[in-house]
Amino acid sequence: MITKITKLFPVIILVACALMPVSLGAQSQEEYQKRRRAVRSKMEANSVLILRSGAQSDEGARFRQDDDLFYLTGVAARNTSLILYADSRATGSQPAGPGRPAGPGEILFLSPPAGGRAPAEQKPPVHPGFEAVRSSSEFQSYFDRALLDTASVVYLDYQRSRSLNGPLTADEQILKQARDRGAAFAIKPASSLIAPLRRIKSPAEIELLETAIAITAEAQKEAMRTARPGLYEYQLQSIIEHVFSFNGARRPGFSTIVGSSVYIPCEQ
């Protein structure tokens, strides 16, 4: 419902929050490396953690990277994946290969730079601060081998079916195939490792939060200065989000809400 402000009500509800200021931008690679080291040190022996870009359900919506993946990499691009191997991973006599790097490690998967006319002509992706970077086209083979070779725990957020009688999701089919071939692993959510880290903010994170708060406050003050009879609520929303972008915020932290009414705070 589109609501027009016909008069200035005693209360106009503004709910908005800026997120990830570009002015401070991606945090240092040392910050992301420190987080990944902390995660790897807490993983069970011979375990693997796998994170992937989330699927975009609304084609018209701006792409949003998986929160945990961004927290550990700082990469906001689509088709990004990360595999972390436990520091205490058991090393056997098997040769190194997809899913079996020699010793503890991490692999970041990215789409190769645009411009190559054929796969052979494409330049391999690069990203500073990672032990290994591979093309996103290689991820599935590493994913498969990681499942087959992991003897304890796979930390993975995966799509689940919502019915016992319905078809398995693509993720569930892959997990079943691995187990049908003898793989014996437990699955735990990646958040069980990452959420405890996110509760304690580093100085760099605190600086980002303070900047986002300042941008949010300025946007809401500008909306209050601009509000007048005849404006639509979506116009105030556009002003708020313009101030976010103008001051370097990457995107809103959540959908902006502007509501005005005589009787209720927000129109439905």
| Residue 140 in this model has a pLDDT that exceeds 90 | yes
With CA atoms as reference, report the closest residue to 11 among 259, 267, 225, 268: 259
DSSP state of 94: S
- Name the band, by pLDDT with cuts 50, 70 and 90, for residue 267: very low
The pLDDT mean for the chain works out to 80
Tell me the mean pLDDT in the region 232-243: 91
CA quadruple 137, 142, 144, 146: dihedral, nearest 10: -160
CA distance 50 to 174: 14
Q: Is the pLDDT of residue 266 over 50?
A: no
At residue 262 the predicted structure's pLDDT band, cuts being 50, 70 and 90, is low
Q: SS3 for 172?
A: helix
Q: What pLDDT shows up at residue 54? A: 73
Q: Where in the chain is the domain with CATH 3.40.350.10?
A: 27-198
pLDDT in tens, 20-61: 544 445 588 899 999 999 999 999 998 999 999 976 555 556
Position 18 scores a pLDDT of 59
256 vs 116: which has the higher pLDDT: 256
Give pLDDT, residue 57: 52
Please state the rounded mean pLDDT for residues 74-95.
76
Instruction: Give the rounded percent of residues in the chain with a pLDDT score beyond 70.
Output: 74
pLDDT digits (tens, 9 = 90+) for 196-237: 999 999 898 898 889 999 999 999 999 989 988 888 888 999
Q: What is the mean pLDDT of residues 120-129?
A: 70
* Structural contact between residues 222 and 243, judged by C-beta atoms closer than 8 angstroms: yes
Q: How far is CA 26 from CA 144, 231, 250, in A?
A: 31, 36, 10
pLDDT digits (tens, 9 = 90+) for 170-201: 999 999 999 999 999 999 999 999 999 999 99
The residue-averaged pLDDT of 90-111 equals 60
User: Do the bridges between strand 153-156 and strand 186-188 make them parallel or antiparallel, or are there none, so unpaired?
Assistant: parallel
Mean pLDDT of 128-154: 91
pLDDT at 215: 92
Q: Which of 155, 138, 52 is nearest to 101 (CA)?
A: 138
* Predicted confidence (pLDDT) at residue 99 exceeds the cutoff of 80: no
Q: Is the dihedral of CA 7, 8, 10, 16 positive or negative?
A: positive
Q: Compute CA 105 distance to the chain's CA centroid, rounded to the nearest angstrom.
A: 21
Partnered with residue 155 across adjacent β-strands are 49, 188
Task: Tell me the CB-side half-sphere exposure of residue 126, using CA atoms within 13 A.
Answer: 3
Contact assessment for residue 37 and residue 84, using Cβ atoms and an 8 Å cutoff: no
3-state secondary structure of 36: helix
pLDDT of 88 > 90? The answer is no
CATH number for region 27-198: 3.40.350.10
Decide: helix, strand or coil at residue 13: strand
Question: From the centroid of its chain, how far is CA 15?
Answer: 23
